[in-house]
Structure 1
């Protein structure tokens, strides 16, 4: 697994955590599990493997020692 990216989609994260889709999405929406959503509210989620491990251990996202990602919003093109 060392050659793979530590960032996972929701499908990869739920298979890794062995939990259901609704449970994972609920944890993301409530902030119980840290993740980054691209183009909210319907964008794809990216979850770091360390955050999934911390969530499985019952740790809150604030207690994980890692800098949060900065959201990048694409600029609209002038017509």
Structure 2
């Protein structure tokens, strides 16, 4: 197991965890390998590592290292 920091909170993940794994765990949602929710709903999040946005198309390829700091931003509708 390794630990990453998501929005300043420590999250334990398995050794080969990708961003898809981390996002799914933090949001408590099952995700397809490409980052889409398995329930067909919308996800509405953006992810950055070290201030650099990681496109969803790269989530399944991006294995996270122990201690990686991740920012997860959720879109909110309002007016």
How would you bin the TM-score normalised by the shorter chain? 0.3 to 0.5
Answer 1 or 2: which has greater strand percent: 2
The one of the two structures with greater contact order (alpha-carbon pairs below 8 A, sep at least 6) is: 2
Answer 1 or 2: which has greater helix percent: 1
Bigger Cα Rg: 1
